[in-house]
Structure 1
Amino acid sequence: MLQSISKASVHAFYADAIPHGRNTAENLQAATSERFNTLLESIDNQTPRTALDLGYGVGNYTLALARAGFRVVAVDQIPCTSLLRRIGSAGDWAHQIEPRRCLAEDFTIDEDFGVVVAKDVLHYLTRHDVETLLTRAVAQAHGANHHYLEVFTGIARSSPSGQLLRIEGEADCSPTAFQHVIEEIYAGWDLSFHWSDHAEQDSRTGRTCFEATRATVIAANPAA
Structure 2
Amino acid sequence: MSENMKKYYNELFMNKKDNTEKIFEDVSNDFKKNINQNFEKLIQDKYALDLGYGYGNYTIFLAEKGYNVDAIDIVKPYWLKNRIKNNETLKKNINIYSSDIRNIVLKKKYSIVVAKDVLHYLKIDELQEILYKIKKNTAKRSIIYIVMFADIKRRDRDGNIKLIENEANLSEHNVVEIINKIFTKCVILTNIENYREKEKYNNKYKYYFEAKRISFVIKRGCL
Q: TM-score, normalised by structure 1?
A: 0.91
Superposed displacement of residue 157, structure 1: 0.9
Given candidates 32, 52, 70, the residue that maps to 1:73 is 70
Q: Which amino acid aligns with 2:119?
A: L
Once the two structures are superposed, the pairs formed by residues 40-55 of structure 1 within 5 Å of their partners are 40-47=35-42, 48-55=45-52
Once the two structures are superposed, the pairs formed by residues 1-224 of structure 1 within 5 Å of their partners are 7-47=2-42, 48-202=45-199, 204=201, 206-223=205-222
Percent of aligned pairs sharing the same letter? 24
The count of aligned residue pairs is: 219
Q: Which amino acid aligns with 1:105?
A: R
* Runs of 4+ deviating beyond 6 Å: none
Distance 1:72 1:156 in 2: 34
8 Å contact kept, 1:7–1:167: no
8 Å contact kept, 1:77–1:101: yes
Residue aligned with 1:92, SS: helix
8 Å contact kept, 2:143–2:217: yes
Distance 1:163 1:212 in 2: 16
Q: Which residue of structure 2 aligns with residue 3 of structure 1?
A: none
Unaligned stretches of 5+ in structure 2?
none
Residue aligned with 1:207, SS: strand
Superposed displacement of residue 65, structure 1: 0.5
**Residue deviations 1:17-36 (CA, integer Å, cap 9, x gap):** 11332223443211111111
Distance 1:98 1:92 in 2: 12
**Residue deviations 1:159-194 (CA, integer Å, cap 9, x gap):** 112111222433322112211100011011111101
**Residue deviations 1:97-143 (CA, integer Å, cap 9, x gap):** 01111112122222211100011000011111111011011012232
Q: Which structure exhibits the higher relative contact order, with contacts defined as CA atoms closer than 8 Å and separated by 6 or more residues?
A: 1
Q: In angstroms, what is the RMSD of aligned CA positions?
A: 1.9
Residue aligned with 1:39, SS: helix
Unaligned stretches of 5+ in structure 1?
1-5
- CA 1:76–1:160 in structure 2 vs 1: closer, same or farther (change >3 Å)? same
- CA 1:71–1:8 in structure 2 vs 1: closer, same or farther (change >3 Å)? same
8 Å contact kept, 1:25–1:202: no
8 Å contact kept, 2:21–2:117: no
Q: Which amino acid aligns with 2:34?
A: L
